[in-house]
């Protein structure tokens, strides 16, 4: 992260422009690469390397590293996929749910890695692509299972007096087919954007207090630095939590689509 404080003695807060840095290569093409895209590539490379090494020679009795990798994969497989979807559907959608979880996790965590300092998922592309994948998955799952059941459950929930369907059906349609992907996208993106802005704010304020101001005001720098440190820890939690929530909601939507009745 480039320090946001120019040496002109004035404080510059964090800006949204940080999420649209100068393009580096392929300028103007659909394959334009800027700093955030590079951060994503690094996250993907790290993910591939870690899991390739972790699953290269898997032993029945695992070592430390393999245990760690297995623990991560088990979290998704058992606690999300199998618990919500059961063994059969859980196995069917496991690749998508696993990908959602680890892609979000690795792209989130770059936000606090020194030198990268921005979450790969803080630009709308990643959350949007994953939300579209979840959207396609749950509609596919529902339609494949039973189109009649799926649309009846989604649009005409049972147990509602028939007169109320005039109100309920548009609401249900909106909630299921519009709100779900939008909330998935925005929840993740906004968490990452705000987390980044907060960190920038704290650390640029620290820089400002320590180096631009004189006298006792420098003490404020210690306070903002402490806040920045705590917030960095908080961002680790948020990164894991958002990945978990994203994968969980993907699974929940698929589960609601394949459920007989709800």
Partner 1 sequence: MLNALLSTASESGGSGTEHSPLIPEVYDLVWSAVCFIVILFFFWKLVLPRVKKLLDDRSAAIEGNIAKADEAQRKAEAALEQYTAQLADARAEAGRIRETAREDGKKIVADARDTATAEAARVTATAHAQIEAERQSALVSLRAEVGTLAISLASGVLGESLTDDKKATAVVDRFLAELETSDSPSARPRVGSGSTK
Among 182, 230, 189, which Cα is nearest to 16's? Answer: 189
- Kindly indicate which of the ranges 122-130, 148-156, 215-223, 235-243 contains the residues binding partner 1, using the contact rule CB under 8 A: 122-130
> Are the CB atoms for 80 and 251 separated by under 8 Å?
yes
How near is the Cβ of 147 to partner 1 at its closest, in Å? 26
**Which of 19/203 has CB closer to partner 1?**
19
Length of the chain: 262
The helix/strand/coil state of 137 is: helix
CA 122 to chain CA centroid, nearest Å:
8
> Are the CB atoms for 249 and 184 separated by under 8 Å?
yes
User: In DSSP terms, which residues pair with 33 in a beta bridge?
Assistant: 25
Tell me: does residue 194 bind partner 1 (CB under 8 A). Answer: yes
Among 7, 8, 10, 16, binds partner 1 (CB under 8 A): 16
- In the region spanning residues 20 to 59, those forming contacts with partner 1, defined by CB under 8 A, are 20-22, 26, 29-34, 37, 40-41, 43-44, 47-48, 51-52, 55, 58-59
Residue 46 in tokens = 């790290």
Binding site for partner 1 (CB under 8 A): 12-22, 26, 29-34, 37, 40-41, 43-44, 47-48, 51-52, 55, 58-60, 70, 73, 77, 94-96, 98-99, 102-103, 107, 120, 123-126, 128-130, 133, 189-190, 193-194, 197
């Amino acid at each position: 992260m480039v320090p946001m404080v120019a040496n002109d003695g004035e404080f510059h807060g964090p800006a949204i422009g940080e999420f649209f840095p100068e393009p580096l290569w392929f300028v103007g093409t659909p394959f334009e690469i800027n700093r955030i895209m590079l951060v994503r590539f690094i996250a993907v490379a790290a993910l591939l390397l870690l899991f390739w090494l972790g699953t290269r020679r898997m032993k029945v009795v695992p070592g430390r590293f393999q245990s760690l990798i297995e623990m991560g994969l088990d979290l998704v497989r058992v606690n999300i996929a199998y618990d919500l979807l059961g063994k059969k559907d859980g196995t069917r959608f496991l690749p998508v749910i696993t990908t959602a979880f680890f892609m979000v996790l690795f792209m989130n965590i770059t936000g606090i890695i020194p030198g990268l300092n921005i979450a790969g998922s803080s630009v709308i592309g990643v959350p949007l692509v994953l939300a579209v994948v979840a959207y396609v998955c749950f509609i596919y799952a529902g339609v494949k299972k039973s189109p009649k059941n799926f649309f009846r459950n989604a649009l005409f929930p049972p147990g509602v007096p028939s007169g109320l369907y005039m109100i309920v059906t548009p609401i249900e349609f909106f909630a299921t087919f519009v709100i779900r992907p939008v909330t998935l996208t925005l929840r993740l993106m906004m968490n990452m954007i705000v987390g980044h802005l907060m960190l920038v704010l704290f650390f640029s304020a620290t820089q400002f207090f320590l180096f631009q101001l004189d006298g006792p005001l420098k003490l404020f720098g210690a306070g903002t630095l402490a806040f920045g440190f705590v917030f960095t820890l908080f961002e680790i939690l948020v990164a894991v939590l958002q990945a978990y929530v994203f994968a969980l909601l993907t699974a929940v939507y698929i589960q609601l689509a394949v459920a007989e009745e709800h």
